[in-house]
Amino acid sequence: MSEQGFLSTVHRNFDRAARYLDYPAGLLDQIKICNSVYRFSFPVRREDGGFDVIEAWRAEHSHHKLPVKGGIRYAPDVNEDEVMALAALMTFKCAIVDVPFGGAKGGVKIDPRKTPVHQLERITRRYTAELVKKGFIGPGIDVPAPDYGTGPREMAWIADTYGQLHNGDVDAFACVTGKPITQGGIHGRKEATGRGVFFGVREALSDEALLKQLGMTAGLGGKRVVVQGLGNVGYHAAKFLVEGGGTLVALSEIEGAIYNPKGLDLEAVMNWRRETKSIKGFPGAETLPSPAAVLELECDVLVPAALENVLHAGNAERVRAKIVAEAANGPTSADAEEILRRRGVVIIPDMYLNAGGVTVSYFEWLKNLSHVRFGRLNKKFEEASTGRLVHAIEMAAGRSLEEAERRQVVRGASEEDLVNSGLEETMIEAFRQIRAVQIKNPKIDDLRTAAFVNAVDKIAVSYMELGIFP
């Protein structure tokens, strides 16, 4: 943790945005505060017969829409301040991408890398049972998802435990998202946050005013990309940014960092890390002195995708990226933000850029409640009607398509096609809305403040329409 707590950074950003909004102070206070926090401990038996007492949290920041939604973080240094800050970000994130949920977040103070799998399972199941007991989980109440240190496996344990405690509840699968496909998950969720990061960076790199401000050319083609953290979000963000034309010049993980100005082969690095348990020494790349050294490399797009407060007052002056693309939550402290803004660095803020995860989680929740895979009812129907249309055009034109060409044209949308298309539309529309806030308020010269204004405005309207704040 750097110069200040994560929650005070979120509050400072909120307060800056509130200056541009004309709502009663009481309403803004209600939107800012965290509604409820459940802090609890429970014992778990170890293999050697001893016990560990585990500390855990679930924070529900805003109930203006239900259910509330947010990931569960497993980390040795997770704390209440962090969980509340992340829950607040979830509220604003959902509003930005028009996902009808309030914000929440969970934390369990363990090191998942040092905890045996059977122990992780016991902890996850007990954590879930504790949430059930206090009414902090349920398809219409509070719906967790993966975050740092958790993934589909943990989500499957949560769904199973919840299902056992709610025998006969047909909607039980909708109590958690980010599950494996066989356990009610949705195609495209695993990649969603990283894919959303790509869409967001692509939008920024096609915005003429931003490009002019940065003195950059349009498009990802040839842009130097640096990624910190090769977990779910970092790996997928790197993959899609490279597929979109970017050159991945540096990567860092917890054990070290590597650099090659000509570009790194992401899959080869992943294989190297699997084989040697480290990215260090990757053939053809320079090993940097520390994992944090990547943050100071000259590049076009720096993607912090690990943890919060990695850009702080101590290193912000040395950041040489033109764009900081916040894939992680809260990677830039409030002090670092001021330094970067002064130095003309454009920050694409977390609560917009990493909202792809919650967007596709929303699709998964809808799928669980409707009990049918997206595309199942219409795929073949679409293929048949497009086939008839193509046939009519062929007859009129006197020429037939090649078989491969025809298959491509008439192909109906699969679940993954629909998910990716919904995600792309969401990220484009949200970027447009954030930029529209700036056009309306020319004094707002950063995307984070504009994103906050956009989010708080929507939440305020929602309260006003409920008649709570006339």
Shortest CB 160 distance to ligand NAD, Å = 20
Angle at 256 between CA 251 and CA 259, to 5 degrees: 40
Shortest CB 77 distance to ligand NAD, Å = 11
Per-residue three-class SS string for the chain: CCCCCHHHHHHHHHHHHHCCCCCCHHHHHHHHCCCEEEEEEEEEECCCCCEEEEEEEEEECCCCCCCEEEEEEECCCCCHHHHHHHHHHHHHHHHHCCCCCEEEEEEECCCCCCCCHHHHHHHHHHHHHHHHHCCCCECCCEEEEECCCCCHHHHHHHHHHHHHHCCCCCCHHHHCCCCCHHHCCCCCHHHHHHHHHHHHHHHHCCCHHHHHHHCCCCCCCCCEEEEECCCHHHHHHHHHHHHCCCEEEEEEECCEEEECCCCCCHHHHHHHHHHHCCCCCCCCCEEECCHHHHHHCEEEEEEECCCCCCECCCCHHHCEEEEEECCCCCCECHHHHHHHHHCCCEEECHHHHCCHHHHHHHHHHHHHHHCCCCCCCCHHHHHHHHHHHHHHHHHHHCCCCCHHHHHHHHCCCCHHHHHHHHHHHHHHHHHHHHHHHHHHCCCCCCHHHHHHHHHHHHHHHHHHHHCCCC
Q: Taking CB under 6 A as the rule, does residue 107 contact ligand NAD?
A: no
Nearer to ligand NAD, 205 or 327 (CB): 327
- Rule CB under 6 A: choose which of 67, 139, 229, 375 binds ligand NAD: 229
- Rule CB under 6 A: choose which of 328, 345, 346, 418 binds ligand NAD: 328
Shortest CB 266 distance to ligand NAD, Å = 14
Residue at shortest CB range from ligand NAD: 231
Q: Taking CB under 6 A as the rule, does residue 148 contact ligand NAD?
A: yes
**Binding window for ligand NAD (CB under 6 A); candidates: 28-36, 214-222, 225-233, 459-467:** 225-233
Q: Taking CB under 6 A as the rule, does residue 307 contact ligand NAD?
A: yes
Residue that has been written with the tokens 């943050």 in this structure: 295
**Binding window for ligand NAD (CB under 6 A); candidates: 325-333, 340-348, 386-394, 456-464:** 325-333
Does the bond joining 67 to the residue before it have cis omega, within 30 degrees of 0?
Answer: yes
Q: Taking CB under 6 A as the rule, does residue 451 contact ligand NAD?
A: no
Q: Taking CB under 6 A as the rule, does residue 446 contact ligand NAD?
A: no
Q: Taking CB under 6 A as the rule, does residue 62 contact ligand NAD?
A: no
- Rule CB under 6 A: choose which of 67, 184, 231, 375 binds ligand NAD: 231
- Rule CB under 6 A: choose which of 154, 203, 253, 364 binds ligand NAD: 253
Q: Are 90 and 358 in contact (CB under 8 A)?
A: yes
Nearer to ligand NAD, 229 or 375 (CB): 229
Shortest CB 235 distance to ligand NAD, Å = 8
Q: Taking CB under 6 A as the rule, does residue 146 contact ligand NAD?
A: yes
- Rule CB under 6 A: choose which of 306, 316, 437, 444 binds ligand NAD: 306
Rounded to 10 deg, the angle between the 415-440 and 80-96 helix axes is 90
Q: Taking CB under 6 A as the rule, does residue 332 contact ligand NAD?
A: no
Q: Taking CB under 6 A as the rule, does residue 2 contact ligand NAD?
A: no
Residue that has been written with the tokens 């060409």 in this structure: 405
Active site residue 105: yes
Shortest CB 424 distance to ligand NAD, Å = 17
Shortest CB 253 distance to ligand NAD, Å = 5
**CA nearest to 312, candidates 347, 338, 342:** 338
Catalytic residue among 105, 223, 239, 367: 105
Backbone angles phi, psi at 228, to 5 degrees: -105, 120
Nearer to ligand NAD, 312 or 379 (CB): 312
Nearer to ligand NAD, 67 or 229 (CB): 229
**Binding window for ligand NAD (CB under 6 A); candidates: 162-170, 227-235, 385-393, 417-425:** 227-235
Shortest CB 258 distance to ligand NAD, Å = 11
Nearer to ligand NAD, 28 or 95 (CB): 95
Total of residues contacting ligand NAD (CB under 6 A): 25
**Binding window for ligand NAD (CB under 6 A); candidates: 33-41, 210-218, 240-248, 305-313:** 305-313
| Active-site residue list | 105
State the residues that interact with ligand NAD by CB under 6 A: 71, 146-149, 193, 228-234, 252-254, 291, 305-307, 327-329, 354, 357
